[in-house]
Chain A
Amino acid sequence: MFDPAVLAQILWTGLATSSYMVLFTIAFSLVLKVMKLWNFAQAGMMAIAFYAMYAAVNRFAWPTAAAVVFGLAVTLAATLAFEIWGLRTLRARRSSSLLFFIFTLVCSEFAAYVLTLVFGTEPVTLFPEILSPVRVIGQIAVSDWDLLGVGVTLALGIALALYLRFSRDGQFVLAVSDNAELAELYGIDAKRVYLVAFSIATVFVCAGMYLYGSRTAVIPTAPLQLMLFAVIATLLGGMGSVLGGALAAVGLSLLQSYSVLFIPSQWQGLILYVFLFVTILFFPGGVRRGFKAA
């Protein structure tokens, strides 16, 4: 088992599998960073994104590209409606952060119930076939899905970093995330920035659900479980650090993958909960900050 080829295969497959988790984590931590919102409604958005693409592919027989655009459009519409008619109302009322949290959770459950009524509860994959072509590079099996996952995640991650660093709108996003009230004093429209942040998160959510749904069967309530991973990664990476969250997602995925060398496979899922437990108790501000403080 400790053969270099095996270790390299676990590394590659772990990286590929972490792709959608990284995308979900970036979406979650970006919204948290900019809006200070624990957005559990993201699970609802993930479900909407998947089922919109699923309907386009399987019910309307649209080509993949059109299905992705459709999924993006539907999810964006739902996300912006959630911000404009939901969150803005709560902000206007100066609602407590607990109410914001409950509202996002309720929206998520609402989306899952509606999708259950429309699409049923049978597990479905985005495409009828889940197998993707494989090539062996060195001694490592590399599938088209792996390459797509790693490629899309890297491309979107770099694009986001460049956008935040070099574009005017990106600078506004960073300014609002640092101090929304001060940013508004300098003439930055915080409401617009929130819409931008949600739009970016939607792109990451759609990409993640495309990758996940093309390999694994989905039911309307499945995204909530995936969200838990994003929450743990965000906590580990340090709340407010999008890059930290993304790296934590990669680290957690690799840790789960390599854990089979030491523990039986059925215990892999437990690792996440152990990390959640330890992080909340000992590193509430994230591992990096925790060590700095120490």
Chain B
Amino acid sequence: MSFKRRDVLKAAAAGALAAGLPLPLRAQGAGNLRFGLAMPLTGSQSAYGKDQVTGAQWAVEDINAKGGVQGRKLEMIVLDTQADPQVGINAVNRLISVEKVPVFITAWSAVVKAVAPIANREKVLELSVGASSPDVATLGDYVYTTFPLADVDVTAVARYAYQKLGKKTAAVLYINNDTGVDAAKVYREAFEKAGGKVTVYEAYDPKATDYSGMLLKLRASNAEMVHIHGLITDIPQVIAQMRQLGLKQRVSTYSAGYNPIIVKQLGAAAEGLIVTSLAPGANDRPQVKAYIERWRSKEGRVPNGLPYTQYLYDAPVMVAQMYDWLLKQKLAVNGENMRKALLGVKRFELPMTGVTEVDATHRVKKPVYLLTVEKGNFVPLATVS
């Protein structure tokens, strides 16, 4: 019995699909305009990662349905990072060396930082879409963010706690990794600069399951406000244990907390929780309303981390606008020119998050939307420019 090469490849692809392995998503055809997307498709952060990839896929479909970029189709190659720096490095190496993309999109602070040296060395543009560590702005010439960094929304929530809620003392509890350490520092500085005092400043181990010792320090301090900067896996546990120890302070967190899972897991204990969103909601922008309806009709639910998926929808739109600029300038498709295109376009009109301006500081500024949990739902609290 003999096998044709094509049969073997088909069988291998079918096997990979059956095993749930990610495959590059390609719109077949010569002259496609390619870019990479490295996100967690497996692992503890996959609930977010998969929905973000879906948002990006829809954007590519929509762009290509409207004729692509100057008649050429946009092609997105998706690889898994597991939100793990080492896996991320492998994925980005493949995107650059094998897939030869001039630009790639990735997220999660630890991954963004780990792959930055590769992007700088190979002169390939890295767009960070969702990582919030303030360090992301200083990772090198080829690393830009399209997502406001933690200093934007965390500063806004810290100032709001002091100025609008009248809280004079705060506790900052944060996960001891790239996500938590830098952002906690930002909150402390912003709260103290506003005039308040941070009375507890405690990190917890990413593998911890019992937070009672740290929470008893909080109880002893009598802080009026508590800011928790962790991941979706630990934030609900910290709040649950807080409430079980009888701690009733109002809690704030950041955009990771804008997730229905938290309300589901905490029930009534989630009431009053303040979260941030860096993207407009359905009432702010009709495109977002249509996008949420699309999720409901296609997936039967609202996406995990809705604002992040909005940014991921917008990311291929940015790439398309950069390619458009590049083709008009008749420049070669490579990382160096892609960076020129980013700075050349500078001001991007994006359907889900509005205008985004990229500047020389490698940062973007956007309004911060504060929301709070009321009767089991996230409702708007304030918009901070």
Tell me the count of chain B residues lying within 8 A, CB to CB, of chain A: 38
Please report the C-alpha to C-alpha distance between residue A259 and residue B264 in the assembled complex, in whole angstroms: 32
* Pairwise interchain contact B212-A225, C-beta atoms closer than 8 A: no
- At the interface, is chain A mostly helix, strand, loop or mixed? mixed
Please report the C-alpha to C-alpha distance between residue A87 and residue B43 in the assembled complex, in whole angstroms: 31
Q: Is A131 an interface residue (CB 8 A)?
A: yes
CB distance from A119 to the nearest CB of B (A): 12
Which residue of B has the minimal Cβ distance to A142? B244
Q: Is A266 an interface residue (CB 8 A)?
A: yes
Which residue of B has the minimal Cβ distance to A20? B209
> What would be 14 A-B contacts, judged by CB atoms less than 8 Å apart?
A1-B220, A14-B212, A116-B42, A125-B265, A129-B265, A130-B266, A131-B240, A131-B266, A132-B244, A134-B243, A215-B240, A257-B213, A260-B213, A265-B208
Please report the C-alpha to C-alpha distance between residue A125 and residue B211 in the assembled complex, in whole angstroms: 17
Which of A2-10, A156-164, A167-175 touches B?
Answer: A2-10
Q: Is B17 an interface residue (CB 8 A)?
A: no
Q: Is A138 an interface residue (CB 8 A)?
A: no
Q: Given A10-B213, A225-B207, is A216 in contact with B267 using a C-beta cutoff of 8 Å?
A: no
Please report the C-alpha to C-alpha distance between residue A212 and residue B244 in the assembled complex, in whole angstroms: 16
* Pairwise interchain contact A264-B203, C-beta atoms closer than 8 A: yes
Please report the C-alpha to C-alpha distance between residue A222 and residue B158 in the assembled complex, in whole angstroms: 34
Known contacts A1-B217, A14-B212, A267-B205; 11 additional CB pairs below 8 A are A6-B220, A9-B245, A13-B210, A120-B46, A121-B46, A122-B46, A129-B267, A225-B207, A264-B203, A266-B204, A268-B204
* Pairwise interchain contact A128-B264, C-beta atoms closer than 8 A: yes
User: Per-position contact with A for B206-234: 1 when CB-CB < 8 Å, else 0?
Assistant: 01111111101101100000000000010
CB distance from A82 to the nearest CB of B (A): 24
Q: Is A199 an interface residue (CB 8 A)?
A: no
Please report the C-alpha to C-alpha distance between residue A3 and residue B216 in the assembled complex, in whole angstroms: 11
Task: Tell me the chain B residues, 175-197 only, with Cβ under 8 Å from chain A.
Answer: 176
Which one, A131, A132, A141, A257, contacts B210 given CB within 8 A? Answer: A257
In the complex, the 5 A-B pairs of residues with the closest C-beta atoms, listed nearest first: A260-B213, A266-B176, A13-B212, A266-B203, A265-B214
List B residues at the A interface (Cβ < 8 Å).
Answer: 19-20, 42-44, 46-47, 176, 202-205, 207-214, 216-217, 219-220, 233, 236-237, 240, 243-246, 264-269
Please report the C-alpha to C-alpha distance between residue A266 and residue B203 in the assembled complex, in whole angstroms: 5
Please report the C-alpha to C-alpha distance between residue A121 and residue B83 in the assembled complex, in whole angstroms: 12
A267 proximity list for chain B (CB < 8 A): 205
Q: Is A123 an interface residue (CB 8 A)?
A: yes
Which one, A121, A125, A258, contacts B42 given CB within 8 A? Answer: A121
* Pairwise interchain contact B264-A121, C-beta atoms closer than 8 A: no
* Pairwise interchain contact B246-A258, C-beta atoms closer than 8 A: no
Q: Given A260-B213, A266-B204, is A134 in contact with B265 using a C-beta cutoff of 8 Å?
A: no
Q: Is A241 an interface residue (CB 8 A)?
A: no
Chain B CB within 10 Å, residue with most, of A128, A129, A261, A266: A266
Please report the C-alpha to C-alpha distance between residue A1 and residue B199 in the assembled complex, in whole angstroms: 13
* Pairwise interchain contact B213-A141, C-beta atoms closer than 8 A: no
Tell me the count of chain A residues lying within 8 A, CB to CB, of chain B: 42
CB distance from A233 to the nearest CB of B (A): 16
* Pairwise interchain contact A134-B19, C-beta atoms closer than 8 A: no
Please report the C-alpha to C-alpha distance between residue A14 and residue B132 in the assembled complex, in whole angstroms: 34
Q: Given A1-B216, A122-B44, is A17 in contact with B210 using a C-beta cutoff of 8 Å?
A: yes
Q: Given A17-B210, A260-B217, is A131 in contact with B244 using a C-beta cutoff of 8 Å?
A: yes
* Pairwise interchain contact B216-A260, C-beta atoms closer than 8 A: yes
Q: Given A117-B19, A141-B246, A143-B244, is A9 in contact with B265 using a C-beta cutoff of 8 Å?
A: no
* Pairwise interchain contact A219-B213, C-beta atoms closer than 8 A: no
* Pairwise interchain contact A10-B212, C-beta atoms closer than 8 A: yes
CB distance from B80 to the nearest CB of A (A): 11
* Pairwise interchain contact B265-A121, C-beta atoms closer than 8 A: no
A10 proximity list for chain B (CB < 8 A): 212-213, 216
Please report the C-alpha to C-alpha distance between residue A268 and residue B267 in the assembled complex, in whole angstroms: 29
* Pairwise interchain contact A265-B216, C-beta atoms closer than 8 A: no
A257 proximity list for chain B (CB < 8 A): 210, 212-213
* Pairwise interchain contact A121-B43, C-beta atoms closer than 8 A: yes
Q: Given A260-B214, A264-B202, A266-B203, is A141 in contact with B244 using a C-beta cutoff of 8 Å?
A: yes
* Pairwise interchain contact B244-A266, C-beta atoms closer than 8 A: no
B245 proximity list for chain A (CB < 8 A): 9, 13, 134, 141
